[in-house]
Amino acid sequence: MTVTGESDETLMGRYGRGDAAAFELLYRRHEMRIWRYLVRNVGNRATADELMQEVWFAVARDAARYEPTARFTSWLFTIAHNRMIDSIRTSRRQLSLETLGYESESVVRQLTADPCSGPLAAAVARDQAGALLHALEQLPVEQREAFLLQVEGDLSVEEIAAITDSSFETTKSRLRYARTKLRELLKEHA
Amino acid sequence: MNEIPPNQDQADEVDNRYRRESALDPSRPSESVRRAVLEHATQLAAERSAKNGPAQIGAARPAANPRWWRPTAFGTLAAAALAGLLIIPRFLAPDAPLVGALPTVPVRTNAAATAASQAEIREQPQDAMADVRPSSPPPPEESALQPDERALKPRVSSRNEGTVADSAAEIDAKNAPAKVQSMTNPRSTAAGGGSETDARRAQTRGATGISASPPQSTAPTAQSAGSPRQSVAPAASSAAPTAPPARLADSAAEVRRAAEIGAVPELQTLLGQQGDIDARDESGRTALMLATLSGQSRAVDMLLAHGADPNAADAQGVTPLQAAIAGDRPAIAAALRRAGAR
């Protein structure tokens, strides 16, 4: 997790005092986690890119006011969650399974057709990533987000409940049903 | 929603598969996003550094803060000037500086130990006591001093120059005679015998105000150093009824001091003049007890011969015999036993 051995909170403190290198370390440490959380929730690469930039801009802007009362990852995913909700509201889209499911088909195609990958690798990735994303797309929005927060953010049930403004039991149930559904879907795909 | 929740092993299996397959996912955020984010963060960091830089410097270096520069500078200058005023007079004094005085002390002790004269041996502790007293001025007859004693003199004189008032405050009625004695001519006894001791004692009485005339043999610096005692003298002379008890108390203190340092000739003279040989100091110790504690066997013999109480215990209830035994002084203990000590 760590490149330099310094904690996220320490790096945030350094960046808050003007150390740009600390921010780059933080960004590279959490870049892919935030990216996967966003792109697999919104199902659109362009939107995910836009949200990605907004999230990290917010991190950079609020670094001076950041206080390590909670884990940095919890704070970071809270920003990502709020930005994602705002983006969805702004585009007047409904945060519903149907809407995201519709867009996710094109996202799968975009992801698997990444020009950085070779033809064979793209074929393998298409098959594997397609199965995974397809299973995720079929989860209810709340379950998918809770699952992604846990596996990408390494967040606890309490932290996820706080981020999504849900109760502990509700969050726990969402996680439980999400895994059950994923397991069944992946078995079907296999 | 009515499905049976999976157990922990199944959840781990799902999570592991998700992570495995995510690692194979070639999806990445756009390079333009990464560049924009890092550039923005760098710009904000630069603004933050420019904004917080002076404040951080000010917090770390208070003297660099313009608000503190003037008080700091003036305070430093004032402290330096004050130190100069206190130290420069010591270097401008006619006597030798302090350097070199202290190392001669052990030499002086050795010289005293090897001296052939018994009287000289007895007088040297007296001189040592005079040296540590703050009111001893430099005697004019410096040629009479031994080299090691001259080495000690600058320390005493330089201290007297600035601390006359302090010395006066420290002098009480009981200890003043001994101090004045050492002040008037403390070194003259180093080469002398009993007659010089008597002369010094006479000078002491004159300086304490029993005689209204100040001592004539003191140097000008001694005059200034003796001013505290002169200020005491009018009070003693104006209060005539209190003068005799003060003289008696002074004599008793002299007896105790002479007994303690083993100044036998002086002790003999004093014992012939005053009555209460068993007068006690503030700790309840008699002259006999002090002589016992300091191992002055001849003084002990003389005190016992003049009728000192061998069983006069101090404030702690310790008798001279107990003190002699505790101090491993068998000769004194035997003398005390012969005198009836218990």
For the cut 70, the answer to whether the pLDDT of residue B101 exceeds it is no
Q: Is some CB atom of chain A closer than 8 A to the CB atom of B1? A: yes
Q: How many structural domains compose chain A?
A: 1
* CA-based nearest residue to A97, from A8, A181, A189, A183: A181
Of A44-58, B2-16, B23-37, B151-165, the least confident = B151-165
Write down the pLDDT at residue A125.
52
Write down the pLDDT at residue B236.
37
Q: Is some CB atom of chain A closer than 8 A to the CB atom of B231? A: no
Instruction: Please provide the size of chain A in residues.
Output: 190
Q: Is residue A1 part of a domain?
A: no
More confident residue, B23 or A170: A170
Write down the pLDDT at residue B323.
86
Write down the pLDDT at residue A175.
94
Position B21 confidence tier, pLDDT thresholds 50, 70, 90: confident
* CA-based nearest residue to B303, from B266, B328, B329, B330: B266
The model's pTM is: 0.42
CB B260 within 8 A of CB B248: no
Of A174-188, B62-76, B227-241, the least confident = B227-241
Write down the pLDDT at residue A177.
93
CA atoms of B248 and B272, how far apart (whole Å): 13
Tens digits of residue pLDDT in A109-139: 444 444 444 444 445 555 555 676 778 888 9
For the cut 90, the answer to whether the pLDDT of residue A38 exceeds it is yes
> If you ran DSSP here, which 8-state letter would residue B292 be given?
H
Question: What rounded mean pLDDT belongs to chain B?
Answer: 62
Write down the pLDDT at residue A1.
44
Tens digits of residue pLDDT in B215-269: 333 333 333 333 333 333 333 333 334 444 555 667 788 888 888 888 888 888 8
Tens digits of residue pLDDT in B138-172: 444 443 444 344 433 334 333 344 333 343 334 34
Mean pLDDT of B103-109: 42
Residue window 32-51, chain B: list those with CB within 8 Å of chain A.
32-34, 36-38, 40-42, 44-46, 48-49
Q: In Å, how far is B62's CA from the nearest CA of chain A?
A: 20
Q: Is residue A86 part of a domain?
A: yes
Q: Is some CB atom of chain B closer than 8 A to the CB atom of A19? A: yes
* φ, ψ of residue B286 in degrees (nearest 5): -85, 175
* CA-based nearest residue to A10, from A21, B37, A56: A21
In this prediction, does ipTM exceed 0.90? no
CB B137 within 8 A of CB B163: no
**B27 and A53 in contact by Cβ < 8 A?**
no
**A125 and B37 in contact by Cβ < 8 A?**
no
Range list for CATH 1.25.40.20 in chain B: 249-342
Which residue in chain B is spatially nearest to A13 when comparing CA positions?
B45
Residue B124: count of CB within 10 angstroms of its CB: 21
For the cut 70, the answer to whether the pLDDT of residue B74 exceeds it is yes
Residue B51: count of CB within 10 angstroms of its CB: 11
Give Cβ neighbours of residue B252 (< 8 Å, ≥ 6 apart): B274, B276, B279, B287
- Beta-carbon contacts below 8 Å between A and B: 120
CATH of B249-342, one of 1.10.4190.10, 1.10.150.130, 3.40.80.10, 1.25.40.20: 1.25.40.20
Please state the three-class secondary structure of B68-91 as a single string: HHHHHHHHHHHHHHHHHHHHHHHH
Q: Using CA of residue A19, residue A23, residue A24, residue A29, what is the dihedral sign?
A: positive
Mean pLDDT of B309-336: 87
Q: Is residue A3 part of a domain?
A: no
Question: Distances from the Cα of A84 to the Cαs of A39, A49, A190, in angstroms?
Answer: 10, 11, 32
Q: Please report residues of B whose CB lies closer than 8 A to that of A36.
A: 22, 25, 27
Q: Is residue A155 part of a domain?
A: yes
Percent of chain A exceeding pLDDT 90 equals: 44
CB A129 within 8 A of CB B23: no
CA atoms of B41 and B35, how far apart (whole Å): 10
Q: Which of A147, A180, A188 to mutate to test binding with chain B, by most B CBs within 10 Å of its CB?
A: A180
Q: Please report residues of A whose CB lies closer than 8 A to that of B21.
A: 128-129, 131-132
Give the domain extent around A33. Answer: 8-189
Q: Is residue A74 part of a domain?
A: yes
Q: What angle do CA A102, A103, A104 make, to 5 degrees?
A: 95
Q: Give the count of alpha carbons within 13 A of B222, CB side only.
A: 22
Mean pLDDT of B77-98: 74
Tens digits of residue pLDDT in B187-229: 333 333 344 444 444 444 433 333 333 333 333 333 333 333 3
**B34 and A180 in contact by Cβ < 8 A?**
no
For the cut 50, the answer to whether the pLDDT of residue A97 exceeds it is no
Percent of chain B exceeding pLDDT 90 equals: 5
* CA-based nearest residue to B161, from B92, B237, B114: B92
Q: Please report residues of B whose CB lies closer than 8 A to that of A56.
A: 37, 40-41
Mean pLDDT of A162-186: 91
Residue B294: count of CB within 10 angstroms of its CB: 16
Tens digits of residue pLDDT in B114-132: 444 444 444 444 443 434 3
Of A8-12, A144-148, B14-18, B21-25, the least confident = B21-25
